[in-house]
Structure 1
Amino acid sequence: MTDNTLAKRARLSVSDWISASMRLLVTEGPTALKISRLTDALGVTKGSFYWHFTDIAALKTALAEHCEAQQRSAADHVRELGAIPADERLGAMVDYFSEPHRWTAEAAVRSWSHTDKSLRTAIADLDRHLYEAIHQTMLDLGFTGDDARTRASMLLYAGIGYLHASDEFGTPDADTLHRFVTLATTR
């Protein structure tokens, strides 16, 4: 369903505006988050926007809260992965985080976080949970001390690097990421 079809179907909800904002954030970046861009994308008037939000700052706050909730959900998922066997755990993390929609959304949110403190905090929390989960997995795989910490850091930093470099070098496919994990866990 297109944004215009959605707008004609029924009165837009806050969720519809958040979804349209997220699409703009992912495709064009945070500077595209403007009332006129959103109303054009949804095929509605500015009055429709003001029915739900007092101004663009209110919409950005709602979108940031949505993104923060997504980051918390990802951190919860990472914690849940601790229940699966260590030799499968890192692969499950790769599969979860390399899903194309999640990958592009994560890259966009991380880019936006450079100008939004609450998003920076949510991302830092997720990164801390990821590091802890990867480190614990390394310990569970039999790596110890500095070796476990170094491998966990390497995987976390590589993942963040892949996110930031994907615009220039392309998004790595899941197979490439799995091979990287294999290299990082080989003795």
Structure 2
Amino acid sequence: MATPRSSASKTSTPRLSVDDWVACALEVLADEGVAGIKIPTLCKRLGVTKGSFYWHFSDLEAFLAAVAEHWAVGRDEAVASFAALESIEPNERLRLMMLRFADTSTWPLERAVREWARTNPWVRERVAQTDAVMGVKVMEAFEGIGFSKADAAVRSEMLFRTGVGFMLTVPEGGEMDLALGEAMLAILTRP
């Protein structure tokens, strides 16, 4: 006859998924930058051993690639949500796009990824890809207002750089000055 196991006699470690590891790394990335992503640090935060890490990833480089790709896919999905706005009048569409990216809670991670892209060619390329898709959507809205393709491209680039400027200059925990953003958008949409 088998003896029942006592639940107190055996402690269990959490069973983590790839998504758990990536989510933890994204938090560290936003807080400390890519230099803060170290296997021992992640293991301590997650309460597991290095074996758990190596169960999911061959090495830190493969893991970092997964982290960067996860960020990029999330950003691609955010930009893809602009498709739902295509039936809206172009001026209002631009305003709504601006508001979607005015969520300052996402900015620490966005800043960290852009800083990481300065030293990592693959991350730089992935950031450029997602920026290009967003740029096309913004440019299409400017064309919908009636600007030529060339004019729309310049205005789209100016709006993008303004948005990045807000992201880089608003202090941690601060809010974007939406009135200023709307005033800049009004200037960019004038013929």
1:87 equivalent among 88, 91, 96: 91
In structure 1, give the amino acid aligned to 2:94: L
Residue 161 (structure 1) aligns with: 165
Highest Rg: 1 or 2?
Answer: 2
SS in structure 1 of the partner of residue 118 of structure 2: helix
In structure 2, give the amino acid aligned to 1:141: I
In the aligned structure 2, how far is the partner of 1:51 from the partner of 1:44? 12
TM-score, structure 1 as length reference: 0.81
1:48 equivalent among 45, 48, 52: 52
In the aligned structure 2, how far is the partner of 1:166 from the partner of 1:57? 31
In the aligned structure 2, how far is the partner of 1:99 from the partner of 1:135? 21
For the pair 1:127 / 2:123, whether they are aligned, the reply is no
| Mapped contact 1:79–1:129 kept (Cα < 8 A) | no
In the aligned structure 2, how far is the partner of 1:159 from the partner of 1:125? 17
Q: Which has the higher helix share?
A: 1
How big is the shift at 1:53? Answer: 2.0
Residue 181 (structure 1) aligns with: 185
For the pair 1:11 / 2:5, whether they are aligned, the reply is no
After superposition, give the CA deviation of every residue in 1:5-31 in whole Å (9 maximum; x if it has no partner).
xxx783111111100000000111000
How big is the shift at 1:141? Answer: 1.6
In the aligned structure 2, how far is the partner of 1:114 from the partner of 1:32? 16
Residue 34 (structure 1) aligns with: 38
| Mapped contact 1:26–1:104 kept (Cα < 8 A) | yes
Cα RMSD (Å): 2.6
| Mapped contact 2:155–2:188 kept (Cα < 8 A) | yes
Aligned residues: 180
> Which residues of structure 1 form unaligned runs of 5+?
1-7
| Mapped contact 1:67–1:119 kept (Cα < 8 A) | no
